[in-house]
Amino acid sequence: MKRETYEAIVANVESQVTWDPRACIRDLSKAFPCENIHSLESIVAQCYQERIKKTFKFRTSPREVEKRYKEYQERVKSGSGNGIIVDIAKKYNFSPQLTSKYLIVEWLKRNSDKDNEFDLNERAKTYVKNSNLIPDAKLAYEVYLASLEDDMYGSLAEAIKSSIGLEHEQFIKEKLDELEIPYQDEKYFRHIGCDKTPDIKLVVPFAIGRNVVNWIESKALFGDENSHALYIQNQLSSYWNRFGPGLVIYWFGFVDEINSVRKHEGILVSDSFPVDVTKFDPLHGLSKETPSPPLRDPEDEDKSDSEDEKDFRRSSDVEEEIAKLSLN
């Protein structure tokens, strides 16, 4: 996706006065019919989460929470029906599940022993995860509805995100199994006590064109320039330092400029598993013919090779001799 298109989509999302992610996605699919719906959904989710972070401190301040709780009580007494918490959250452009959590905290302050702030928050988290534990039947049902409605920033959103992420990681593993390329996953690295490891570490690397891939990181989201820069800083650069060059897959697309102006030359970016890979056989070399090396400039023919080039050719000759011996 071109940067201009991405910025136009973000501007459209941020112009929404009343925040309704589902309605926003429907509008975007009409305004940008050529764009993948999954890309639009991912961009909306990212904008939504960013907006929640920006307003979190204000919306969860004691004064604001007390106002929202009074509003909730008034609507319950007036018989407003179901979905009160969801309506309040939409009215103030905030997460329904986070709204329900802080209303629970306020309810606990008024209807339980004087626990400290930490205990109240811990009990509220438990109630949000399992609303059946809430003694107040009306509040329990409202919290349940809020958790169902909030598929962008609540426990449901995390469950969906985790499920989609695991699905795409499994897809990579199946592809590697088909290609008979050995690999190690995060489960293996956790078992041996490693931290900050990629989703897939190849035991034997493969190549995409002239680029070697030692590891694969799967991202079930849309990759914009800011998030990609943060991933490089917090994750990808450490993988490159430990394992060498690798590949990150943004399954729901990415801004094209990420590839044209890369922050790190050893990290490839794609939106799908590579179709044409060159496998390496330690005994026999590459499994298929690799692209021809670039032609040398005639003006450089009479120039002496650098020591690095000589060392590289010597090491290549040794590898060829080893391969010949292994065949005999």
Residue pair 1/254 in contact by the 8 Å Cβ criterion: yes
Does 309 fall in a domain? no
pTM of the model: 0.74
Any domain includes 97: yes
Flag whether 77 is in a domain.
yes
Mark whether 8 and 142 lie in a shared domain: yes
Phi, psi of 213 (to 5 degrees): -120, 120
Among 149, 176, 199, the domain boundary falls at: 149
Same domain for 9 and 125, yes or no, is yes
240 alpha carbon, distance to own chain's centre = 18
Q: Does any domain span residue 120?
A: yes
Cβ contacts of 81 within 8 Å, gap of 6 or more: none
Structural domain of 248: 163-281
Would you put residue 244 in left (φ > 0), alpha (ψ -120 to 50) or beta?
left
| Claim to verify: residue 39 and residue 103 sit in the same structural domain | yes
Residue 157 falls within a domain, yes or no?
no
Ramachandran angles phi, psi of 223, nearest 5°: -100, 110
Crossing angle for the helix pair 37-59 and 96-111, to the nearest 10 degrees: 30
Could you read off the pLDDT of 139-152 as tens digits, one per residue?
999 999 998 888 78
Asked if 117 and 181 sit in the same domain, the reply is: no
Instruction: Please tell me whether residues 129 and 201 are part of one structural domain.
Output: no
Give the torsion through C-alpha atoms of 159, 163, 169, 173, to 10 deg.
140
Helix axes 96-111, 117-129, angle to 10 degrees: 130
- Confidence at residue 296, expressed as pLDDT on a 0 to 100 scale: 42
| pLDDT number for residue 299 | 45
Mean pLDDT of the 159-173 span: 91
- Quick one: pLDDT band at residue 264, thresholds 50, 70, 90? low
Q: Are residues 88 and 182 in the same domain?
A: no
Q: Are residues 9 and 142 in the same domain?
A: yes
pLDDT-derived band of residue 68, with 50, 70 and 90 as boundaries? very high
The answer to whether residue 87 is domain-embedded is: yes
- Residues 135 and 183 placed together within one structural domain of the fold: no
